[in-house]
Structure formats: structure tokens, C-alpha cells
Structure 1
């Protein structure tokens, strides 16, 4: 079957493209910039943008299933044109959809429901890859992570496990019509994550715990928006209970345990490793 993957150059999308190809499916990767996609040979890369439904008519043509995302890429920037996206995929006859969701319900989910499309929502609580975004530069350049850290635990999920659940939904191995809450198999603290990164790189990583006032000052000095500063502080000081402990969804769907953070750190060690200067 031919399956379209939106967000194909992101962490989950890229993993899903690879897994679909390994399973023998034809993959059509949707990206704003095909020239920079760097996807595996044999993947059909097409130009398109979920924010512009006019670019999707041709992209959905001949596709039997599609993996979509609810956001544009920026923090808190949800798609506003869900009904137009759904109109395009219904017109093309797309039969099954997996949706990688964000913090809130956007316009895509209710539009899929209203159209009667067979779809499922993937709800990861935290990506392991967030550690790259949040800390890789500091670890590479200084070997130190300076944050407000109150010992919050997170059962972060490997992006390849999210992709594996999406694959099961898209190919009919897992049912539509439900939400899949996705976590890793262990609850770890930031200190434990950094220790795993240190083990993977063979280089020391220091955690410096800041007060809330110090953390706000550091974030502001780094150019962090006021909205993101408040989100970061609230996440640490009053974390939501969901995601703090593992749930068994990945094992239920895939038949194997979730990948560990230590394994993820080994896979991504080069991104954290200091370059001799």
C-alpha cells in the first residue's frame, strides 16, 4: 500500500518513513523542501504544506493511508485549516489516518470525526528527542546543564516507538477510533537522563540546579519568549501527572518493550559530544 507521511523530516516522521520502507510499503513523504529532505532511496518525496490545503490534492492522490500532524512546527502553533485538509484526503479516498497530536485539540481532529474518517490519535507525553532540543548545545559547548530541576520524573518515549505505533495504525494492525497514550517504559529524572548522555559520550555532564528566579533570568537572557518561560517553569514546578509514569501502550501495540532512554542516548551520542577545539 502507498502511505503518505507528513512531517517526514521530523524525528517521528523520519523514523516512520524508515519503518514503512522496511515493512515493504510505498512511502510518499510530504515536506516543504524536498531538496533538503535526505530521505532513503526509494521514498517518493513531494512538496507540500499542511497549512496550505491547495498543495495536498496531488499529494493525497493514490494514497491509501496517511500520517498527519496537528501543528505547524512552532511551539503552540496548531493547524487552523483542519476541515480543508480533511476535505482533500476524503476526496482522494484516503482510508486510514494516524494523527500525531500536541498539547491541545486542534482543528484537524474534529474535522476527521465529522467526516467519518477511520483515524487514531497518537499522544506521546514527552519525546526523548526533547533532550536534544533542550540541552544538546549546552552539553556540547560547556558540559553543563543549568535549569530549574525539582526532580520531576518523565516516562519519555523514543520517537521510533511512536513511529511503530503509527505504522500499526496505518497498516491495520492496530485499530482506529481511539487515542494511544504513549510513554517509554521507565520514569527517569533529568539527572538520570544526563548520566545516560554522559555514559554514551564518555564525557562528563554537570547538572546545575537553579532557583526559579535564576532560571527565569537565564531563559530571558537566552531570548526565550515570555510564554515559553512560563511554560517551562510551570512544567517543572507543577507538572501534569500524565507522563510521569509509564503506560503499557507501546508494548500492547508492538508486542515488545519500549526502547530505553539509555539506548536513545547511545544512538544520539554524537549530537551531544564536545568537538575538540
Structure 2
């Protein structure tokens, strides 16, 4: 790469980079940034025809649950952005197959919970719903990290906190009703922009500065749900109402939307835990430490995603 840099560190010269989970919010950003850095990129997806990825990426069919697809996916690959398996922590054999095929570095898409201290048993029904959920998430993501570490190749774990993209769950109602209905309007977390996660992942893929590191990434500051809605409203230039629900009203509302009961229990508790502060997930300065510049704000995320919250444009052709 001859003197190039990524986040202030000199670039190495990797061969082919495989991005798994390439059509997700973060995976797309990883592909875009790798292509922008002039890298050879292979993007693995179960639906190549509908991937719509950046020009220059080699889009291939691959499935963690279909080992017969792996030889073509892994042929010639040197580094892997490793997305979690469909059932996180379930050893499909992909990681071992990748190491045997010659992969020499994994950058693992993990979760902030993987860095929590072990202790709680997710099967312990005496624990609150949130503690069981966090224990389950911690164990599953840490298990994937340990699979990668066991290959004895280079690795970096990228552990995002709660993603700003969770707000896309409000998109349809904002487009059609200009309203968001949630409990605990002052609850919130340091929501992280998917581009920040991708930027750290690409730094770990393309430089040697992060080998053996585990990076927990959050947004720069807590943003309440009501503040999120105001940021989206400003981004689209429209008024959006925030209608605060009681916890019971929220349960009924989410059940009507098809949410499973176990989700309702820990989701309510997660929000309540962040009324005064950010619960178990305070802001980190990891992103700035890795890249040398400040983390993107939720306001920036809302601007970047304004199109997701606007109603489709009606043209004359649509009315005839």
C-alpha cells in the first residue's frame, strides 16, 4: 500500500478480504470502506442477486449452515470480517474451515456484552429478564470469540454497544403517522453509528495495530428516546410526536406489533435501567482512540438515514 494509513496507522497489504454478513447495516459499511481503500473484497451472502453492494466487490453465495458453499467462499481469502452465525455461539465449523483454508486474520463482529464479567447463568429463572438476556448474549458472543482465538491465527474483536440503527424500527410509523410511541422517554443509551463500527473493523483488517485487541464501541454520549425522535424530525424537516406510554401500554402495543413475550420483559427493563445514566453501557472513547477523530453523533446518524423516515415521493405517474 506504500505509505497509506488507516486511523493514523500504516496499512499492511492484505490479500483477498472476505466480508460475511455483507448485506447488513454494518457489513455494507465494511464493504464500502474496503473498496474505498482499494482492497480486493469478496462479499458473502445467501442472496447475491438482491445484495446491491458497492461496485468492485465480488459477491458470492455462501451460507454458514451449508458447508458445501465454503470452499468457493474461502478460496484465496487471507482476512475475514466474521459476522455471528445465525445462532450466535453455535459452532458451524466455518471458523475452523477458514483457518484450514489459509485465513490468517479474523476481525470478529461481537457485542459489548462479550466484555461483561461472567457469572450469571442465563437459565437461572430467579434472575430478571434483562440479566438473563445479557448473560445469554455475553456467553454466545464470547463463545464465538473463543472459537476464533482457538485457531491460533491473528484476531481482533469489535464489540459494538446498542446500535443507532435500532431506531429504524420506528421508520414505518414515522413515515405513515409521524409519531413514535414508547415508554420512558428520558431513557437512552450512547447509540453507536454503524459507520463507526465499520471504521474500527476496517482499521483492524488493514493495519497490524489492533491484533489481539477487543474494542468496545459506543456513541459519544447518551441520547434519550425523546431526543432521538427530535433528531430524526430535524433531519427530515417534519414534526414527529413522541407519545410516552406506560410500561403496560408499551407491552400491549408491542404485542400487537408481533413482538415475543420474552422480548417485552427485558426491553422494558433495559429502558428503565437507563433513566438515570446508561445502565450497564456507559460511553467509551474507543472510537476516537482507534481512529483519531470523534465518534459520530446520533444527530449525524439521523441525517444519514433521513431517507428511511420520509414517505415515498409521489410522482405524476403514480396518480394516473
TM-score, normalisation: structure 2: 0.80
Which residue of the partner structure matches residue 247 of structure 1? 284
* Contact 2:190–2:223 (8 Å) recurs in 1: yes
Is 2:288 aligned against 1:262?
no
Deviation at 1:179, TM superposition (A): 1.4
Residue 48 of structure 2 corresponds to 34
**1:90-113 C-alpha deviation (Å, 9 max, x unpaired):** 111111111111432334222212
* 1:85 equivalent in alignment to 2:119: no
Work out whether residues 107 and 157 of structure 2, in 8 Å CA contact, stay in contact via their aligned partners in 1. Answer: yes
- 2:77 aligned counterpart, secondary structure: coil
CA distances 1:206-233 after superposition (whole Å, capped 9, x unpaired): 1111111111111111111112111211
Identify the match of residue 169 of structure 1 among 183, 204, 223: 204
Which runs of no fewer than 5 residues in structure 1 stay unpaired? none
From 216, 222, 237, the equivalent of 1:187 is 222
Q: Alpha-carbon deviations, 1:148-205, whole Å to 9, x = none? A: 1252231111111100110111112432222110011122111111111000101111
Q: How many residues are paired up?
A: 270
C-alpha spacing 1:86/1:39, structure 2 compared with 1 (3 Å): same
Query: Paired residue for 2:157, among 121, 133, 152?
Result: 121
Whole-Å separation in 2 of the counterparts to 1:248 and 1:238: 22
Aligned to 2:25: 11
- Residue pairs, 1:119-268, within 5 angstroms: 119-132=155-168, 134-239=169-274, 241-243=279-281, 245-268=282-305
Tell me how far apart the structure 2 counterparts of residues 158 and 116 of structure 1 sit (CA, whole Å): 31
Cα offset, 1:2, TM superposition: 1.2
The 3 A distance-change label for structure 1 pair 276 and 94 is closer
Distance change >3 Å, CA 170–CA 276, structure 1 → 2: closer
Gapped runs of 5+ residues in structure 2? 1-14, 112-136, 315-320
Q: Secondary structure at the match of 1:45?
A: strand
Alignment check: 8 A CA contact 1:51 1:79 kept = no
Corresponding residue SS for 2:139: coil
Residue aligned with 2:22, SS? coil
Partner SS, residue 271 of structure 2: helix
TM-score, normalised via structure 1 length: 0.92
Greater radius of gyration (CA)? 2
SS in 2 for 1:64: strand
CA deviation after TM superposition for structure 1 residue 71, in Å: 3.8
